[in-house]
Amino acid sequence: MTVRVLVIGSGGREHALLIGLSKDPSVTELHVGPGNAGTSAIATNHPVDIVSADAVVALARRIEADLVVIGPEVPLVAGVADALRAAGFATFGPGAEAARIEGSKAFAKDVMAAAGVRTAHSEIVDNPAKLDAALDRFGPTWVVKDDGLAAGKGVVVTDDRLAARDHAAELLENGHPVLLESFLDGPEVSLFSLVDGEQVVPLIPAQDHKRVGDGDAGPNTGGMGAYTPLPWLPDAVTQQIVDDVVKPVAAEMAKRGTPFSGLLYAGLAIGKDGPAVVEFNCRFGDPETQAVLALLKSPLGQALNATATGTLDQLPALEWLDGAAVTVVVAAENYPGKPRTGDVIGGAEGEGVLHAGTALSDDGAVVSAGGRVLSVVGTGADLAEARAQAYDRIAGIKLPGSHFRTDIGQAALEGRISL
Ligand code: GLY
């Protein structure tokens, strides 16, 4: 039985995981490395370099962790889960080989092709001399991605060829191969599944809001808010995603000898011809997790432990609260550009206020320390109530220069999303 859990990471997702774990009676001690100002209220924060396998293993040993849960993609792609498993720790999160499903978009495309999963047509460009001809084969709309990890900010989706070209040229100049993709039409869905080899347990679907401004204006971000469940998505389509996308990909990875263990995040567009994959991630999404876990009734520690120990087939069916959950990200001035940091945050201790880019100053004040600073969660009997609670809670927060979207979940609420 899970007793002492170590969560790796420092964002709103990790704060949400810790809150979920703190409600599981089987979890008796919570640790986080490095955590943030908010996590220190429910867990012991430990400074650690999360991409150093040696440092994370040493921390897990020091606290005698029974389960280690890795939140972000960077340590997963760097092989930190492999090192923890080799040292004998039950670990939630894929090894480096399986984490390539997020770490290399070219690898993900290859797995999808072999698994017969619908996704955008794509081309890798690694030579600036070939960029213009490649751009001519796509768009409008152009979808230009960094082939490696870029925290959501490496993606530009635009009808402006010059903007597409500029982004691709900048990536190439910095030595990053570029992935050009055909544009997938239709509303987007984030479906998270616990995966242990070929065992797949889906969570409830959510929708992220990736652009910085209301009405999907401005550049892409790591995510400005999310809601769950999706009133416009029939259960049959969620099942179709599980059957036609997640299970075939899990089976293909197992077949390649690199079975996935952890959280497989399928980002999809639901077009006229059904779901098509926009991207896979090898970990919980941020900020969708903050909304999804707010509705989880089953013990989170038990679910993560079953995944980590290869016993997902024995996990009782997950139970969910009725109603809806919404999370709204409060971002620092200038985010997604270089954020202003170091400001004292007022109201950061309120209920439903999850911390992301925060730290404690020497005098104990909560200060901003990153681009996405807080992730404020509201729940309610329906989307309208959940939105109202989230925005009510935001009204109590004071952070100079900060901004947030005022329309998280609004299109769904107004029935403006349909398949
Ligand atoms: N919400 C987008 C992501 O987690 O990548």
Judge contact between 171 and 282, C-beta under 8 A.
no
Judge contact between 231 and 409, C-beta under 8 A.
no
Tell me, yes or no, whether 304 and 190 share the same domain.
Answer: yes
Tokens of 269: 């567009």
Atom of ligand 1 nearest to the CA of 288: 1
User: How remote is the CA of residue 285 from the centroid of ligand 1, in Å?
Assistant: 4
User: How remote is the CA of residue 136 from the centroid of ligand 1, in Å?
Assistant: 29
Q: Which residues pair with 225 in a beta bridge?
A: 328
Tell me, yes or no, whether 167 and 282 share the same domain.
Answer: no
Smallest CA separation from ligand 1 atom 5, residue: 285
User: How remote is the CA of residue 223 from the centroid of ligand 1, in Å?
Assistant: 6
Residue 48: inside a domain: yes
User: How remote is the CA of residue 129 from the centroid of ligand 1, in Å?
Assistant: 32
Where residue 291 sits, what CATH number does that domain have?
A: 3.30.470.20
Residue 111: inside a domain: no
Smallest CA separation from ligand 1 atom 4, residue: 285
Mutate to test the pocket of ligand 1, among 281, 282, 284 (most ligand atoms within 8 A of CB): 281
Domain tally, the chain: 4
User: How remote is the CA of residue 68 from the centroid of ligand 1, in Å?
Assistant: 21
Please name the amino acid found at residue 181: E
Which of 314, 348, 370 delimits the end of a domain?
314
pTM over 0.85: yes
Where does ligand 1 bind, in terms of residues with CB under 6 Å?
A: 152, 208, 223, 281, 285-286, 288
Tell me, yes or no, whether 199 and 305 share the same domain.
Answer: yes
Q: What is the DSSP string of 337-405?
A: SSPP--PBPBSTTSTTEEESSEEE-TTS-EEE-SSEEEEEEEEESSHHHHHHHHHHHHTT-B-TT-B--
Tell me, yes or no, whether 193 and 310 share the same domain.
Answer: yes
- One digit per residue, the tens of pLDDT, for the chain of length 419 reads 559 999 999 999 999 999 999 999 999 999 999 999 999 999 999 999 999 999 999 999 999 999 999 999 999 999 999 999 999 999 999 999 999 999 988 899 999 999 999 999 999 999 999 999 999 999 899 999 887 776 555 789 999 999 999 999 999 999 999 999 999 999 999 999 999 999 999 999 999 999 999 999 999 899 999 999 999 999 999 999 999 999 999 999 999 999 999 999 999 999 999 999 999 999 999 999 999 999 999 999 999 999 999 999 999 999 999 999 999 999 999 999 999 999 999 999 999 999 999 999 999 999 999 999 999 999 999 999 999 999 999 999 999 999 999 999 999 999 999 99
Judge contact between 318 and 298, C-beta under 8 A.
yes
The pLDDT of residue 59 is 98
